[in-house]
Amino acid sequence: MLKEKLLELREQAFEHISSADGLKALQEVHVRFLGKKGPITEVLKGMGKLSAEERPVIGQLANDVRKMIATKIEEKRTYLENKLLETKLESEKVDVTLPGRKSETGNHHLLGSIIREVEDLFIGLGFSIEEGPEVEQDYYNFEALNLPKDHPARDMQDSFYITDDLLMRTHTSPVQAHTLEKHKGVGPVKVICPGKVYRRDNDDATHSHQFMQIEGLYVDHNVRLSDLKGILTVFAKHMFGADREIRLRPSFFPFTEPSVEMDISCFRCGGHGCSVCKGTGWIEILGAGMVHPNVLRMSGFDPSEYTGFAFGMGPERIAMLKYGIEDIRNFYTDDIRFLKQFNRA
């Protein structure tokens, strides 16, 4: 009777396997016939009533039935999985002959490109690059640069104060003061200082509460104003064209004496007058001057032995003039349409 029962279970299992239309149904067949509480296990529990000669025969048959059912289940599982894959491939068919989607590549920000171009130029002229903290002490931002407390020139550089003594730097000039201190009164010092600065300006087309700045400093024996003019002439011709001319106008900065504003001949009209230069033929580009003796003295340099010049420029202004950009806010709004125009800049 046990033999007939096992053969009957085999046929029942085959029928259920054949009718299973999915992997879930097939798993239920597996559990039903091969599980620990399945009918084959129940049959084996009755083997104790068999004679010693019958037990190995029925035991072998039970194992064979179990293996046959397991083999059939695996065959059906393979069939169902392949069928499922074929259906999925058919529904998600991809035409491999279609052109691929172009991968968008990133590019340098226009301001970063301008800064790197200026850095490369001045490195070629023997300058090194120095950087410093954006959160600066009042002393290095003002006092070490000949701007004592209550000096009226501080009003033009109203900034964001963190404490009475800490503020967001208003220019990169503090980096120059730190650099001079590190040299302990021994020249030469020849650096440019790029970085972000902050002022409490109302944002509009030409003003921003944050912007980039590049300042330069050269201190050594017998540095003259003519050296400054020569360096700035090289800069102007490199950035705006070999036929550019420069002129220096008297100005005032607390940290330089004498101080000058540098203009370049208009690169649009060649100096004849247009909307870019407002009819003057000249465009203001940066401020500069000879380092004030007080600044040298406070940084540990003897002004009777050392002289130097300093200059400061805005990468935004250079970019706006060079590429005809009318609103400084475009540099900081991350508008891809704007930035894509300068992929080759």
Binding residues for Mg(2+): 257
Q: Could you tell me how far CA 183 lies from the centroid of its own chain?
A: 33
H helix or E strand, kind and range, residue 166: strand 166-168
CB 250 within 8 A of CB 259: yes
Binding residues: 257
Nearest CA to 302 out of 217, 221, 185, 188 is that of: 185
Helix, strand or coil, per DSSP, at residue 286 = strand
Provide the 8-state DSSP code for 242. T
Residue 307's CB is within 10 A of a number of other CB atoms, namely 21
Rg of the chain's alpha carbons, rounded to an integer? 41
Alpha helix (H) ranges present in 155-309? 173-183, 225-240, 293-298
Q: What is the rounded CA–CA span in Å between residue 260 and residue 263?
A: 10
Provide the 8-state DSSP code for 270. T
